[in-house]
Amino acid sequence: MVVEPKVKGFICTTAHPVGCERNVSGQIDYVKKNGAIEGPKKVLVIGASTGYGLASRITAAFGMGAATIGVYFDKEASGKRTATPGFYNTRTFDAKATEEGLYSKSINGDAFSVEIKEQVINTIKEDLGKVDMVVYSLASPRRTTADGTSYVSSLKTIGADFTQKNWNLKDNTVTDATLTSATEEEIANTVKVMGGEDWIDWMDALAKADVLEDNAITLAYSYIGPKLTYPIYHEGTIGRAKQHLADSAVAITEKMQDKGIKAYVSVNKALVTQASSAIPVVPLYLSVLYKVMKEKDIHEGCIEQMYRLFKDKVYGVEGIQVEEDGMLHVDDWEMREDVQREVMDIWEQINSDNLLELADTEGYWLDFYQMFGFKMDGVDYSVDVEV
């Protein structure tokens, strides 16, 4: 069938298999072109099918020559419904890795569940023995814990409501959006879903099964951003969860010190992914940031970020490059003083009349469509494809 994008708000309900394949191939080419990284050879990526997790897996496999196991949660096609992008991405990744003689196994299921953890552990035991790197890159709106309780995360402020400029994606106007404040229960639930509890569960399960190499490294990803978005992100419900994630890194390192296993949080750049486009105010910030960073020729996507993280900050000649806050930072270019000053200057002025001129809305939408395999160069979208 001919697959067209069907965009509803911040989500696209279709994905193009050939476009997704092109997207993954492009990321693989980027890593190969930029050269090998001396690093681990057996890598588990949890949340491996899109965004930062996919880029981490591509960097591990095609940059470090690692065997990879990827865990993801995506839907296959059924009837006239296409699969979700992560399904096509993973299928492409598996095929390309196999072509290059790299071991690759992908497990589609709920990473929060005990069953998937067991399945992954059995796969490691049977195929790899142990792993020397674990990337934890889940972004999910809900989590069901082992006792069957379901928790839903919220994108809310803590304390007072917060009003800020917002880009209405439907009609390209800029108006105020107000985020309401969370209840104690909403805060706790967001921490349950997006905090570090499940990361710790994973590491405990892997350690207990003795499938972690000595001195293995585990990474999880976070975001801080500028003061402008603090009430929504850093100081909001999600920020509370990210604080828990950072505390969990310390807890994991401490409890696994006899094996020399270390956990780190990497603070990454704001980018258009399925997770970030759902957050109010963030799309406007992203499109202004893109404009400024592209003009300075320092714009990066997920693959550039993860390649730089692995090459310079984790497995570089100078070893692990943590900053004063104990975390790794590849948000360093986003947070550069000159970048943020220009973003804030634009932010002050931006409105419905000058939006298209002052923000890179085109770049935002291009990234958005490409996440679902649309608007990729060299793909003929008028032809029938097998979904």
From 30-38, 75-83, 249-257, 263-271, span contacting ligand NAD (CB under 6 A): 263-271
The residue to which tokens 């142990």 are assigned: 130
The pairing of beta strand 42-46 with beta strand 67-72: parallel
| Nearest distance from C-beta of residue 245 to ligand NAD, angstroms | 7
Q: Which of 88, 233, 264, 369 is catalytic?
A: 233
Q: Nearest residue by C-beta to ligand NAD?
A: 51
Q: Give me the 281-310 binding string for ligand NAD, x by CB under 6 A, dash otherwise.
A: ------------------------------
Distance between CA atoms of residues 312 and 301, nearest Å = 16
Q: Give me the 79-118 binding string for ligand NAD, x by CB under 6 A, dash otherwise.
A: -------x-----------------------xxx------
Rg (CA), the chain: 20
Residue 265 DSSP SS3 = strand
Known catalytic membership, residue 285:
no
Beta bridge partners of 263: 218
- How many residues belong to the site for ligand NAD (CB under 6 A)? 29
Distance between CA atoms of residues 192 and 197, nearest Å = 7
Q: Give me the 21-60 binding string for ligand NAD, x by CB under 6 A, dash otherwise.
A: --------------------------xxxxxxx-------
From candidates 24, 58, 67, 139, binder to ligand NAD by CB under 6 A: 139
**By CB under 6 A, residue 73 contacts ligand NAD:** yes
Whose CA is closest to 53, among 241, 305, 293? 305
Whose CA is closest to 265, among 222, 211, 230? 222
| Nearest distance from C-beta of residue 353 to ligand NAD, angstroms | 28
What size, in residues, is the chain? 387
For residue 201, how many other CB atoms are within 10 A of its CB? 16
Distance between CA atoms of residues 185 and 240, nearest Å = 13
For residue 159, how many other CB atoms are within 10 A of its CB? 10
**By CB under 6 A, residue 228 contacts ligand NAD:** no
From 119-127, 175-183, 210-218, 265-273, span contacting ligand NAD (CB under 6 A): 265-273
The residue to which tokens 């409105």 are assigned: 351
**Which stretch of DSSP H or E encloses residue 350?**
none
Of 222 and 237, which has the nearer Cβ to ligand NAD?
Answer: 222
**By CB under 6 A, residue 68 contacts ligand NAD:** no
Interacting residue ranges for ligand NAD, rule: CB under 6 A: 47-53, 71-74, 86, 110-112, 137-140, 221-223, 268, 270-271, 273-276
Catalytic residues: 233
